[in-house]
Amino acid sequence: MTSASDTGVEIDINEINKIRIKRKSKFGKGVLKGFLIGGGLGVTLALTSRDNSKGEREGHYNFNFDGSGIATLGALSLAAVGSVCGGIGGLLSGNYKNIQVKGKSPDDIKKIMKNLNKKARFKN
């Protein structure tokens, strides 16, 4: 079935070769995860980078997060790159799940049907 039905459709399991389930898109989750990972990596790199340009003593860390610094720009850039990569990864992570039914034992078919019934529009 590719569209919703008010009454549902009953099909004998022996007539089915495979079941293909369309999953929800993972684009949004991918963008969010990419943003968090890229931003976290950017902040980590910014906080661990040494800046001795202002004449401070050797080994002093300059957390230059004043909005105009390279650290802020680097963190935001890595967050943006992470968002794009995460979004692409979310789109490419298969939107369909195929379940082979033909040739399965009756016990395997019962397990498949039990799992599918949990998410079915019409419980049966």
- All structural domains of the chain with their residue ranges: 14-117
Would you state the pLDDT for residue 69?
Answer: 66
Would you state the pLDDT for residue 4?
Answer: 56
Contact in structure between 46 and 54 (CB atoms under 8 Å): no
pTM recorded for the entire structure? 0.52
pLDDT in tens, 85-118: 988 888 887 677 888 888 888 899 889 888 888 8
pLDDT in tens, 32-59: 999 999 888 887 877 776 554 554 555 5
Show the tokens assigned to 56. Answer: 């401070």
19 Cβ contact partners less than 8 Å away, ≥ 6 residues apart: 98, 99, 101, 112, 116
Please give the span between the terminal C-alpha atoms of the chain, in angstroms, as a whole number: 16
Q: What is the DSSP letter of 1?
A: -
- pLDDT bucket at 77, cuts 50 / 70 / 90: confident
Spatial CA neighbour of 22 closest among 119, 105, 122, 113? 119
